[in-house]
Chain A
Amino acid sequence: MTDRLRGPLPWLIVAALLPLVLGPYHVALFGYIFIAALVTLGIVLLTGVTGLISFGQAAFVGIGAYTTAYLTTTLAMSPWLTLPVAVVLTAGAAAVIGAVTLRMSGHFLAIASLAWGISIYFLVGNLPYFGGFNGLSGIPALTLFGIDLRGETAMYYVILSFLAASIWAVLNLLDSRVGRAIRSIRHGAALAESVGADPARLKIAVFVIAAALAALAGWLYAHHQRFVNPTPFGIHMGIEYLFMAVIGGVSSVWGAVIGALVVTLMKQALEDLLPSLLGQSGNFEIVVFGVLMLLVLQHARQGLWPWLIERTGVRRAPSRVAADPMPAIRAKPEPGEAILRIDRVRKSFGGLAAVDELSFRAEAGRVLGLLGPNGAGKSTMFNLISGVLPVSSGEIRFLDRRIDRERSRVLAAQGMARTFQHVKLVPSMTVLENAALGAHLRGRHGLLRAALRLDRAEEARLLAEAAYQLERVGLFAQRDELAGNLPLGQQRILEIARALASDPVLLLLDEPAAGLRYKEKQALARLLMRLRDDGVTVLLVEHDMDFILGIADRLVVMHYGRKLADGAPREVQANADVQLAYLGAD
């Protein structure tokens, strides 16, 4: 926590001292840079963290700016009262737009954002109450406890305070239970769903937060400039904010500040330079920006910040575990009780039955292996159980509840945890954070408490739980490494730790041995046997018979979607049909 602030603190001091060395013009300019950084911060959350793109952030800035401009000039409201109004109004607009567009895949939001960016620009420009394209002037300066904050230096400090507070809040948010879920969205909604998070709602939440930051920026802009017209909120500005984020480094909060700084300063310089160079006036700097963007996209899609970080070599201190793990949340069923019943389940894809009238049961405290050659329908069966696919017919019951139409998220809440055949981790999060993602449903604090750092007691326990599970699977020593840097074998084991962190009744493993080297398979086998001895119920889908034989208490063998054999490993192994299926035609 103090580590987190040690890096940025000197820079904050530098920023605070800037007005002492800069002239008024540049102090004002830095004010605008920091306002742009606020908007870009929202884009980092939206694009870099969540993987959504919006060109319409400038329109949200405009809503914020016009709200305060209108209310302070026409109704003479206090700016401090218009701030919440501006933020709530913008957030509301974003919630509506988000609800409409975020359900669609990525590019729809981006394109829709172009459209609403243009609409809002022309709408504001044509509404007489807002002064048309001439805008509104005479916006009052801010005052605080009777102190007049008129002038660029006072406003600079106001803007800097809001920016610092926003960055602090965003960093807090990302470093929390909800933050981890948000960071997982980009790596496939299936992952977020599997730990019980609702990716659709989280996306809207991020979108609303980004809009709120834009509204704050707009409010500051209005009182900094003391005059608003539609131009700075048009679509080209919206695109420019996105450029700032991409050039600065869209995956980091600090990339927002760097991007705003670099782009704004460069734009200033080019606006002075280009017309004299070309002998024409016009906004030719967009050509330079366009070329620069293309070069960044083609050669350094990560932007400037990761490049800078590489050169400074900042290291993180090892994490400490300073709390007890979470208490168990569920009563475990008696060993031997049938907790999962598959009854005549069928799933067909366009006439082809991938799973055909399959029935079997999984019993508590046992390891059930679902086995079959490649293409036998095991993965489809796995997806049916884990709620990724709906069944075509038949019934699946989990703990006596019918689940064959339930979504993964609901199943996670009922005590089903899973791993993925193609490992799904958040590579940019640490091993510990990835494991803690699994404990998502065991915490309750939301976005606001996280942003204000009121979630620390619960957060410590969630991390302790994650650390406990890492210890259990033998990855504790690697807890501070980035998950993306682990070898595949350890990534698979990390997925198991993540699943265990949810305190599951049933653990579903999808081909956990696929692609593993021999030593890694051995380690995985030992781990699974240890978990079985702890009484964990496991359903294991695998095509590697050797791997499964030593672990499973019972085997169900599938072939062409049907059940070929069901029984103790030794019986199944001796089964002539099974041998044939595995060896193919002689």
Chain B
Amino acid sequence: MGPIMDLTIFGFLVQDGLTTGAVYILLAVSLVMVFTVTRIVLVPQGEFVAFATLTLAGLERGDAPGLAWLLVAAGVLAFVMDLSAARRRGSRRGIAAAAVLFLAVPAVLAAVALYGIGASTPLAAKIAVTCAMVVALGPILYRVAFQPMAAASPLYLLIAAIALHFVLVGAGLYLFGPEGVRTSPLLDGSTEVLSMPVSVQTLLILAASLGLNLALFAFFGFTLQGKALRATAVNRRGAELVGVSADYAGQLTFALAAAIGALSGVLIGPVTTIYYDSGFLLGLKGFVGAIIGGLAAYPAAAVGALLVGLLEAFSSFWASAYKEVIVFTLIVPVLLWRSLAHVAVEEDHD
């Protein structure tokens, strides 16, 4: 005997499902993007989300943002790796760019975050600083964790992604502590849609998600950089031969993934309590959505992610203890369906 469903509750659940689903869409799209370009299953995608929320919450409270230190430390490491790689091949080219990307940008952002944010700073500025720090972290993480092994098989890259996730979760615990946070609402109030009350924030999240999806669509469809990333996904060697290096593609993709993660964190912060380790389940739910979409097609991944959000909302109403079980077990019939629909594609390893 479950709780009784009525139209109002149904409306709330749909709203709830769409809100989280909209964030899952972003995560799913980002995972698909990273996978097609770099063949990395970006398990730490969720950490970008959690770090953004936790940092924003910290800035709101007036705490010194721990992310700044992580950013600077990882940036120094990335720069040292670039420096030693440059020494190995006996050329100093690219070092200046690395110094900007890995040293100057993190240093400036850290300085702003540590000393430039006060109680009177508007929320928008805090959000901007938070997002900028998370975005800057993206390419640095690619440089440190994946670039040295970019040619490895997807399976090794997946293990590396999990390892990086471990590092980030541990670092998150150290930097942010074990407490959960919620950020202040982006917008207050509610309005009526189809004679049902809908919070403005929900509408904002849906609009932001839609807007970001359109922006990504435009980026990949119409800009040379976006096409270069797609080209890398289509033919890695061909891309290298026109000057799109795997390093460039990887770092740019990670910057985009971090940006999507940061925005997701800003959006989800007011509606969900986020802990230092919340990223894993968030990312994985995005992933279930992406898998429903087949890990390749953007619109399908988005629909899948929306389904996951709705399923989660309804299952938390009827059987909240089994919420995760239901969401993650969903993957089995989906995979079954996909495996029956597709002839097994053989992959030659190594």
Interface residue ranges, A against B (CB under 8 Å): 47, 51, 53, 55, 97, 100-101, 103-108, 110-112, 114-116, 118-119, 122-123, 126, 186-190, 200, 239, 242-243, 246, 278, 280, 282-287, 289-291, 293-294, 297-298, 301
Contact = CB atoms under 8 A, between A and B. Distances in A.
Nearest to A47: B155
Interface string B151-170: 01111101110111111111
A100 B158 CA distance: 20
B163 A294 contact: yes
B159 A246 contact: yes
A118 B349 contact: no
B344 A200 contact: yes
Interface string B328-340: 1101100110110
B308 to A, nearest CB: 11
Contacts of B164: 290, 294
B178 interface: yes
A97 B349 CA distance: 22
Contacts of B331: 111-112, 115-116
Contacts of B288: 115
A116 B291 CA distance: 14
A289 B166 contact: yes
Contacts of A297: 149, 152, 156, 159-160, 163
B267 to A, nearest CB: 24
B170 A187 contact: no
Contact of A104 (B160, B170, B284, B338): B338
A294 B349 contact: no
Nearest to B332: A100
Contact of A289 (B148, B163, B328, B350): B163
Interface in B316-332: 321-322, 324-325, 328-329, 331-332
Nearest to B169: A286
Contacts, number: 153
A106 B154 contact: yes
Interface in B180-218: none
A284 B335 contact: no
A51 B284 contact: no
B347 A105 contact: yes
B349 A106 contact: yes
A298 B170 contact: no
Given A239-B162, A290-B170, A112 B332 contact: yes
Q: Which of B167, B281, B288 has the most CB of A within 10 A?
A: B167
Nearest to A235: B280
Q: Is the interface of A mostly helix, strand, loop or mixed?
A: helix
Given A186-B350, A284-B170, A287-B174, 5 more contacts: A101-B339, A106-B154, A118-B284, A239-B166, A294-B167
Contact of A293 (B160, B322, B332): B160
Contacts of A104: 335, 338-339, 342, 344
Interface in B281-307: 281, 284, 287-288, 291, 295
Contacts of B321: 122, 126
Nearest to B329: A119
B145 interface: yes
A106 B284 contact: no
B41 interface: yes
Contacts of A112: 291, 331-332, 335
Nearest to B345: A105
A103 B344 contact: yes
A294 B347 contact: no
A284 B166 CA distance: 9
A294 B145 contact: yes
B171 interface: yes
A110 B156 contact: no
A394 B336 CA distance: 34
B173 interface: yes
B329 A110 contact: no
Nearest to A296: B163
B284 A293 contact: no
A53 B170 CA distance: 24
B6 interface: no
Contacts of A53: 155, 158-159
Q: What are the 6 A-B residue pairs with the smallest beta carbon separation, nearest first?
A: A287-B170, A290-B166, A290-B167, A293-B163, A103-B339, A119-B328
A325 to B, nearest CB: 32
Contact of B349 (A51, A110, A126, A291): A51
B179 interface: no
7 contacts: A55-B162, A108-B291, A111-B291, A119-B328, A282-B178, A286-B166, A297-B156
A111 B154 CA distance: 12
A188 B281 CA distance: 34
Contact of A106 (B160, B322, B338, B347): B347
Contacts of B41: 107, 110-111
Contact of A116 (B152, B170, B332, B344): B332
A189 B343 CA distance: 14
A187 B349 contact: yes
A115 B284 contact: yes
A290 B347 CA distance: 28
A416 B149 CA distance: 40
Nearest to B331: A115
A540 B29 CA distance: 48
A97 B332 contact: yes
B290 to A, nearest CB: 9
B319 to A, nearest CB: 9
Given A115-B331, A190-B346, A284 B174 contact: yes
A407 to B, nearest CB: 11
Nearest to B288: A115
B328 to A, nearest CB: 4
A298 B77 CA distance: 15
B195 to A, nearest CB: 37
A100 B163 contact: no
A280 B325 CA distance: 32
A297 B145 CA distance: 10
Contacts of A123: 322, 325
B231 to A, nearest CB: 20
A119 B321 CA distance: 11
A503 B148 CA distance: 47
A279 B54 CA distance: 21
A291 to B, nearest CB: 6
Contacts of A97: 332
A118 B160 contact: no
Contacts of B156: 297, 301
A239 B169 CA distance: 14
A282 B165 CA distance: 16
A105 B338 CA distance: 12
A111 B158 CA distance: 9
Contacts of B325: 119, 122-123, 126
A287 B171 contact: yes
A122 B41 CA distance: 23
Contacts of B336: 100
Contacts of B348: 187-188, 190
A377 to B, nearest CB: 22
B344 A108 contact: no
A52 to B, nearest CB: 8
A126 B346 CA distance: 39
B170 A286 contact: yes
Contacts of A106: 153-155, 347, 349
B349 A186 contact: yes
Nearest to B290: A111
Q: Which of B287, B328, B347 has the most CB of A within 10 A?
A: B328
Contact of B328 (A105, A107, A115): A115
Contacts of B284: 114-115, 118
Contacts of B145: 294
B167 A122 contact: no
A43 to B, nearest CB: 11
A217 to B, nearest CB: 21
A126 B166 contact: no
